[in-house]
Amino acid sequence: KSMPPHEFAREFLSWWDDPGADAVFGPGAWDYTATDYPDPMDFQPEALGVAVAIDQKSSAIVGCGFRIIDDHQIPAVKVLAAGPGEGWLVETASRFSGELRAPVVMAKDGPASHLVESMKKACRGRFKTPTFPQYLDSCAELYVAVSSGNFQHGDQSELNEAVANAEKLDKGDRWVWRRRGAVDISPLEACTLALWGASHWQRSAADERMQDGGPAVMSV
């Protein structure tokens, strides 16, 4: 238990450095962080990451919240929706946002850029577009969380496949995700945005009242 997941896998489980999840997070790290969430789930997503495939043929919504494991709070993610096209994305994400009282996080540039204004309007203030440096930070934050074992995911095929077909694209002395081959990695990108939103979004009581259509200051 004292060893990092990738070191334990290399030393005791004979993991190979094949392309896939091992290539982006280290041998065994992604599998180590897979878990079966209880039903009902014992955490609520605090942010929703939304991403569209580069060819715009599919989209994904991933929620990120926090679980208490051995007295430690760790981020946990779950794919809430994934499917072909993008016509369903704004309506579905805004509905989840309202039901969960969680902000939607999208990249303002890239395949989903044309949906930013309509998503912002539909989410009624529960909406965030990180800057590019912030997205670089979110990629690094996800990498550190997974490779250190301080992370959980629901072992869902959509996210597993995205991770297995992703690689790192250098941006100066930083990097971002890119797909390896033709497989869609929008679930991984949505996961990355959701983690950033859950870790950095600060909601006040006034925010909640305005987002629900009420005044910023309650009368007494």
Confidence bin at 21 (pLDDT 50/70/90) = low
Of residues 111 and 182, more confidence is placed in 111
pLDDT of residue 32: 95
| CA–CA dist 145, 164 (Å, integer) | 17
Q: What angle do CA 72, 75, 78 make, to 5 degrees?
A: 140
Confidence bin at 109 (pLDDT 50/70/90) = confident
* 140, 165, 179 from 23: Cα distances, Å: 15, 9, 13
Instruction: State pTM to two decimals.
Output: 0.82
Quick one: average pLDDT of 81-91?
96
Of residues 112 and 62, more confidence is placed in 62
Confidence bin at 110 (pLDDT 50/70/90) = confident
State both tokens at 187: 């679930």
Of residues 78 and 4, more confidence is placed in 78
Handedness of CA 143, 182, 108, 102 (dihedral sign): negative
Query: Is residue 176 pLDDT above 50, yes or no?
Result: yes
